[in-house]
RNA sequence: GCGGGACUGGUCUAGUCUGGUCUAGGACGUCAGCCUCCCAAGCUGGAGAUCCCGGGUUCAAAUCCCGGGUCCCGCACCA
């Protein structure tokens, strides 16, 4: 049994996650997060908040999943998530129809209908790369879930394929909540939906999953003073390495990566550094991590540069757990165009600049007399002003009909469309990576050594024996910890060893045991999940002791 | 979607080839009680499976046949 299988098995037995809708035969691509899965993903989410949201004062919102057609039309998703799938009618292999055509040297518009593509493929006798057959059927495959909003027919909507769009469309209000300041970070933890053709490998490819995203809006021209969470070297498999056909990443500091132009944006680099930090905190060794640059053809339609943060898992290979994308001004531009709303931001200039301005004042009566045919066109703005005077359709206009007013305008702001830098995590994959590296065997027993800081403020409380005097006292300790905001798993069944084993598998960092001595002097034993060592502590110091532990 | 394999209590599995002895056996887990002063111990008792679903063949189906579902592995797909 491979390690991954053992981890998945543990997940099944202990109820971290399992396939949903089992009683109806199941539905591929949907999973339930069980009680321990919720504890773990909550822990990961709050760690993400600690690293990616709080320190920079980013905002966090929770926007709807159901998204109107127009929003995703403007964002480009409607067109880009709809793949024309060409199926070979002989071997039934499927390909992107437009890829087949462009490989054969045939140009076809991306917006061509499936029928047109089918016709083009068959008329040109393009062969199936697999079997050589030349009969194609082309159908669109929509990888977004569509739905109707309300009872009306032309109110199509989709389940969001990313949480990001819910942030972009609220940009103006968010900016005013941020009192107009850039950079502005807005985060969102929520569900994303993608109608995958074939979901696979347990929770690695799901149709509904959890995302942790930040959209950082920046002024691309602004000087950046970026927080540097650490000076750990980033393992980067960048374009130059990839196109040279190599697979060994460069190990660069953030400064080096930026200086060499490998990472094109300082914020993007900072997020990569934070991402490395997050994964290290989840217990993934640095040497099992890398940032792989997405090449031009692999990138999403909105991206100017993307690095996938990947984790190496033996049985899977390099697994993408995050995408860090420099989205430029694509998103806001698209929504400005689509909605007709102004999403530009006025940025204060460091020092105001004076711009000399020349204004033409026409003497209307003279203009009408001199140019009876074209005066209306001239006044409508069809003229140009250069050092030689006013030109209309390239011909100088008689100087008698106008005067030039020279003024100086003081400009204090710049109008910009902010650029967006986005770190985006798949929560289920983070959980899997965390579990994979936390999974340990100790004396033939399973211990989920989830690093400190992930499962926080959770403790087990046990009476040493299931005797009333001990169980009652243990319940009191439980109450006390609950009141201090600590989640308690209480258990008095079976033997003490069995109970320790159960919480070890769940990754609960410490177990507190009440024995006879506790009844006499009010002390309890505190057992460490990883070392199984116990220390004796007074009951009333438990909370402060737990807070002092590195586990917390 | 295609090809291959699999599917029996919560988990792992015996039984399937060669239909009847299966009212489906075991182990682990789980629950209750007893015992137990620290790591899945022991004892007693209990619950838990229309054998993935639907149809067919047969006197008789977990077992054979057909269709479907889900999972795993390859291929393709992953904006």
Tell me the average pLDDT across A192-200. Answer: 83
Instruction: Point out the least confidently predicted range of A85-99, A322-336, A453-467.
Output: A85-99
**Span CA (A375) to C1' (B56), Å:** 91
pTM of the full structure: 0.86
Please indicate whether residue A489 or residue A382 has the higher confidence score (pLDDT): A489
A317 and A385 fall within a common domain: no
Instruction: Point out the least confidently predicted range of A87-91, A134-138, A413-417, A469-473.
Output: A87-91
Q: How confident is the model at residue A552 (pLDDT cuts 50, 70, 90)?
A: very low
**Span CA (A13) to C1' (B39), Å:** 21
β-pairing, A389-392 with A383-386? antiparallel
In a domain, A451, yes or no: no
Tell me the average pLDDT across A431-449. Answer: 93
Tell me how far CA of residue A142 lies from CA of A69, A124, A194, A338, A421, in angstroms: 13, 26, 9, 21, 27
- Provide the number of structural domains found in chain A: 4
A534 beta carbon to strand B: under 7 Å: yes
A2 beta carbon to strand B: under 7 Å: no
A175 and A208 fall within a common domain: yes
**Span CA (A13) to C1' (B42), Å:** 25
A197 and A287 fall within a common domain: yes
In a domain, A207, yes or no: yes
Strand B, nucleotides < 7 Å from a protein CB: these are 1-2, 10-12, 30-32, 35-42, 52-53, 68-73, 75-79
In a domain, A449, yes or no: no
Closest amino acid to nucleotide B77 (CA–C1'): A197
- Cα–Cα dist A501/A491, whole Å: 12
Q: Give the pLDDT of residue A93.
A: 65
A198 beta carbon to strand B: under 7 Å: yes
pLDDT tens track for A214-251 = 999 999 888 777 666 677 899 999 999 998 888 899 99
- Cα–Cα dist A15/A298, whole Å: 36
A102 and A164 fall within a common domain: no
A9 and A124 fall within a common domain: no
pLDDT tens track for A103-135 = 676 666 555 677 777 888 788 787 776 666 777
Instruction: Point out the least confidently predicted range of A116-125, A157-166, A287-296, A449-458.
Output: A116-125
End-of-domain residue from the set A142, A161, A180: A142
For residue A103, the enclosing domain spans: 82-142
In a domain, A339, yes or no: no
Instruction: Point out the least confidently predicted range of A281-295, A353-367, A434-448.
Output: A353-367
A181 and A62 fall within a common domain: yes
Pure H helices in A229-348: 239-243, 254-259, 266-281, 330-339
Closest amino acid to nucleotide B11 (CA–C1'): A13
A29 beta carbon to strand B: under 7 Å: yes
A window 395-434: Cβ near strand B (< 7 A): none
In a domain, A435, yes or no: no
**Span CA (A20) to C1' (B24), Å:** 28
Residue A138 has which token pair? 């082309």
CA atoms within 13 A on the CB side of A88: 17
In a domain, A61, yes or no: yes
In a domain, A98, yes or no: yes
A191 and A69 fall within a common domain: yes
Tell me the average pLDDT across A374-382. Answer: 76
A71 and A87 fall within a common domain: no
Is the pLDDT score of A31 beyond 70?
A: yes
Is the pLDDT score of A87 beyond 80?
A: no
């Amino acid at each position: 049994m491979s390690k991954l299988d053992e981890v998945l098995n543990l997940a099944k037995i202990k109820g971290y996650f399992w396939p949903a809708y089992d009683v109806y035969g199941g539905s591929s691509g949907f999973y339930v997060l069980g009680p321990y899965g919720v504890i773990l993903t909550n822990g990961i989410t709050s760690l993400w908040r600690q690293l990616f949201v709080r320190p920079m004062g980013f905002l966090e919102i929770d926007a709807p999943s159901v998204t109107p057609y127009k929003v995703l039309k403007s964002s480009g998703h409607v067109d880009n998530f709809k793949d024309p799938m060409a199926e070979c009618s002989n071997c039934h292999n499927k390909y992107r129809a437009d890829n087949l055509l462009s490989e054969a040297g045939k140009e076809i518009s991306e917006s061509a209908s499936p029928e047109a593509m089918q016709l083009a493929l068959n008329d040109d006798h393009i062969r199936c790369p697999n079997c050589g057959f030349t009969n194609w059927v082309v159908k669109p495959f929509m990888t977004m879930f569509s739905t109707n909003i309300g009872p009306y027919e032309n109110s199509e909507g989709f389940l969001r394929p990313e949480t990001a769009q819910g942030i972009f469309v609220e940009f103006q209000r968010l900016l005013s909540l941020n009192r107009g300041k850039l950079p502005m970070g807005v985060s969102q933890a929520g569900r994303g939906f993608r109608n995958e053709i074939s979901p696979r490998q347990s929770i690695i490819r799901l149709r509904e999953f959890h995302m942790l995203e930040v959209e950082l809006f920046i002024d691309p021209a602004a000087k950046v003073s970026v927080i540097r969470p650490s000076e750990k070297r980033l393992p980067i498999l960048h374009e130059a390495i990839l196109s040279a056909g190599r697979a060994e990443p460069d190990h660069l500091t953030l400064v080096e990566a930026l200086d060499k132009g490998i990472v094109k944006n300082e914020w993007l680099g900072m997020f990569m550094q934070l991402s490395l930090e997050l994964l290290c905190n989840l217990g993934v060794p640095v040497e099992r991590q890398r940032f792989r640059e997405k090449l031009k053809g692999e990138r999403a339609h909105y991206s100017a540069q993307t690095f996938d943060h990947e984790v190496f898992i033996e049985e899977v290979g390099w697994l993408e757990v995050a995408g860090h994308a420099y989205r430029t001004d694509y998103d806001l531009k698209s929504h400005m165009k689509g909605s007709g709303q102004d999403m530009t931001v006025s940025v204060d200039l460091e020092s105001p600049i004076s711009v000399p301005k020349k204004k033409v004042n026409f003497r209307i009566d003279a203009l009408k007399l001199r140019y009876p045919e074209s005066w209306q066109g001239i006044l409508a703005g069809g003229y140009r002003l250069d050092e030689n005077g006013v030109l209309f359709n390239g011909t100088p206009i008689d100087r008698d009909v106008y005067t030039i007013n020279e003024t100086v305008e003081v400009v204090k702001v710049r109008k910009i469309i902010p650029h967006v830098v986005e770190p985006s995590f798949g929560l289920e994959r983070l959980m899997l990576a965390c579990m994979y590296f936390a999974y340990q065997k100790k004396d033939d027993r399973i211990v989920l050594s989830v690093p400190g800081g992930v499962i926080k403020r959770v403790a087990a409380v046990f009476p040493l024996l299931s005797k009333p005097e001990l169980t009652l006292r243990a319940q009191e300790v439980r109450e006390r910890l609950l009141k201090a905001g600590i989640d308690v798993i209480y258990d008095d069944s079976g033997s003490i060893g069995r109970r320790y084993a159960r919480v070890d598998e769940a990754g609960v960092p410490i177990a507190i045991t009440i024995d006879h001595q506790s009844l006499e002097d009010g002390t309890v034993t505190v057992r460490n999940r990883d070392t199984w060592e116990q220390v004796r502590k007074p009951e009333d110091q438990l909370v402060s002791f737990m807070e002092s532990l590195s586990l917390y």
